[in-house]
Amino acid sequence: MGMVQVYLDDELNDNLEKVSDELNVSKTVIGAITIYSLLSYYEAKSSFALLDIDCRITRGNEKKLKIDVPDNLKGLLKKMANEQARSMNQLVVGALRSFIKEYNKFGYRVFANLVAPKDQIISFTSSKTRKSFL
């Protein structure tokens, strides 16, 4: 497993804690599902612009969020960040901001949209792994 370490500003951390408390799910789980969803979207539309994702990072009292993801997905996240000329931190922060925005609109139902891509990514990476062993 690889670790993606994300730095959250106070506003994002507070919003994420609120959602985490409401759903009784850890921030790490929300972060992991958000990363899976982001990568699923990337795989489906391999050359897209993330113009609508708010990737701003404010410096100051930052909180760390550590998210364990499989090494191959971390590599895909690095590739995506390079192609978008952004850091992995910016991509994940932007995806988390989008998740919170969607959660505020749709409530817990937003997870239905996030979990399906996670399952697709796991299936996709598992099939690639099986092929590499053959």
pLDDT band at residue 45 under the 50/70/90 scheme: low
**pLDDT at 67 (0 to 100):** 86
Overall average pLDDT of the 28-44 stretch: 80
Residues belonging to the chain: 134
Residue 81, domain extent: 2-133
Higher pLDDT, 15 or 46: 15
Backbone angles phi, psi at 2, to 5 degrees: -100, 160
State the residue for tokens 């929300």: 30
Mean pLDDT across the chain: 74
Q: Per-residue pLDDT for 134 more than 70?
A: no
**pLDDT at 47 (0 to 100):** 44
Determine if the pTM surpasses 0.85: no
Backbone angles phi, psi at 36, to 5 degrees: -60, -45
Backbone angles phi, psi at 4, to 5 degrees: -105, 120
CB 50 within 8 A of CB 77: no
pLDDT band at residue 121 under the 50/70/90 scheme: low
Q: What is the Cα–Cα distance from 124 to 119, expressed in whole angstroms?
A: 9
- State how many domains the chain has: 1
pLDDT band at residue 51 under the 50/70/90 scheme: very low
